[in-house]
Amino acid sequence: MPVLLYLKAFLRKRVYLLLSLFFAILILLITYGLFCQMIQSKLAERENALRSLPVTVVLSNIAGTQTDHLEIPFYLAEYFTSGEYSYGGEIQPRAFSSYVKDVKMKTTLYYSLPSENMNRADTIPSSQKLVGITCLEADRAISQDVIDSLAFFSGMGESVFETGTPACVIPRRLLGHSAQDEQGRSFLTISVQIAPASQAATELVLQIAGVYDADDDRIYCPWRVAADQQAKLDGFYTVDSLMATVKDNMELSEFQTILFRHFAEVSPGGKAAKLDDSPVLDRYQFAAIVRDETLRQTLKEMDDSLQTALWIKPLLIVLELLVSACSGFFFGSVQRRDLLAARLVGTRMREIVWILFLQLFAVLLLSIIVTAYITTLCFNVEASHSYYVGVGAAASFGCLFSIRNLRKAAEALAARE
């Protein structure tokens, strides 16, 4: 009964004290919640950067100085395109190609028109190239004039290079050598050969998908079409250049392990490392360049910032627990006179402790509820139950310390009387 009477009187006299304690605890909890939200945001940004920043793999010569005109054999190129992957004579559970996407390849042949003399290979200019590409970016030698002046016919687009459709993009001046079918589609017939001086040739009919106005003699067709023509002439195909994008950067380390089974790391001296796992080759033929500099630099900057925040976090927790303990001590000490009076009129010490802790518990509970609501709904931060318990325990410890001083004062006052 005395406890309830005292609480009633206290609530009338000490409303501002309760509000001060409430806002002090509330500020501590919200500050910590916002700091945790900042860390979560940094972690999310890091994961987003890790997944979204492109990492490309480019094949080159061993010295890393040449990435075009490599003549990569088909069995190496097929690692990037085949749905199966064999290593050590066994089919592996996961294909090499499943680690990459947007594979860009280029194969170059030479062509002549039917009106040209096919019996004299030296009359074919080396500029008359049939370039098979998977996309325009696959040919790094393509001029900006070609790209700017390129116009696709109706129903056609750059996606034609991703297919095996016998289509092509030609210089506008070659339209005079084309023929049309009954549906109004234009076709170009050419003779294809491996090299300008090669005697072996095969005839190829391509649907014209578009034209360009630049001063160039190249005909562009889907890579698969060029590879098939080379295989028809030579029995196999080769690739001039190959580049791919890593599908999931989270698997980059795993992919690099598989990648460097078949390709060397760049050696500035141009000396290839020994290849132990091949029954045919004793040294690597080509190197693989993993272009992840942007990713590594971005992650380093983010990790440095995150490391600083994680270093500050325990200091912030210690500081807030100290402030919480001081708040609890101040909360008990401010009421010293009233509590001494209650003790002198016969209120037992146990009841005085209950008075203080009921007030403190009510303030802490209200602060935690409000903080959890604000941080969860407004800042999307999950409640840190252990931190809430720590703040409550620190405030209770401070309050207990003030009760200890109060008890000593009460005993000294009783002794004097």
273 vs 214, more confident? 214
Vertex 19 angle, CA 13 and 20, to 5°? 105
pLDDT number for residue 225? 93
Nearest by Cα to 371 from 361, 362, 382, 360? 382
Do 180 and 312 have their domain in common? no
Do 96 and 176 have their domain in common? yes
Number of structural domains, the chain?
2
Do 185 and 256 have their domain in common? yes
- The β-bridge partners of 206 are 188
CB atoms within 10 A of CB 310: 11
Q: What is the DSSP letter of 276?
A: S
Do 23 and 60 have their domain in common? no
263 vs 337, more confident? 263
Domain final residue, candidates 252, 275, 291 = 291
The range of the structural domain enclosing residue 270 comes to 56-291
pLDDT number for residue 279? 47
Do 74 and 114 have their domain in common? yes
Do 347 and 404 have their domain in common? yes
> Are the C-beta atoms of residues 185 and 225 closer than 8 Å to each other?
no
Do 88 and 177 have their domain in common? yes
The gap between the terminal CA atoms of the chain, to the nearest Å, is: 27
Q: In the structure encoding, which two tokens stand for residue 8, read together?
A: 């009633």
Pairing type for strands 202-212 and 151-152 reads: antiparallel
Domain final residue, candidates 291, 306, 334 = 291
pLDDT number for residue 390? 65
80 vs 277, more confident? 80
Q: Is the pLDDT of residue 170 over 70?
A: yes
- pLDDT-based confidence at residue 105 (cuts at 50, 70, 90): very high
Which tens digits make up the pLDDT trace of 19-68? 666 676 677 677 777 777 788 888 888 888 888 888 999 999 888 888 88
Domain final residue, candidates 272, 291, 310 = 291
Which tens digits make up the pLDDT trace of 249-276? 888 889 998 898 888 888 887 676 666 5
Q: What is the DSSP letter of 204?
A: E
Please state the separation of Cα 178 from the chain's center in Å.
47
Do 17 and 115 have their domain in common? no
Do 120 and 195 have their domain in common? yes
Do 37 and 93 have their domain in common? no
CA dihedral 355, 360, 361, 364 (to 10 degrees): 170
> What percent of the chain has a predicted confidence (pLDDT) above 70?
64
Q: Is the pLDDT of residue 413 over 50?
A: no
Do 107 and 226 have their domain in common? yes
Which tens digits make up the pLDDT trace of 357-398? 666 666 666 666 666 666 665 656 555 666 666 666 666 666
Do 311 and 368 have their domain in common? yes
pTM assigned to the model? 0.70
Type of residue numbered 374 = I
Of the ranges 131-135, 318-322, 343-347, which is most confident?
Answer: 131-135
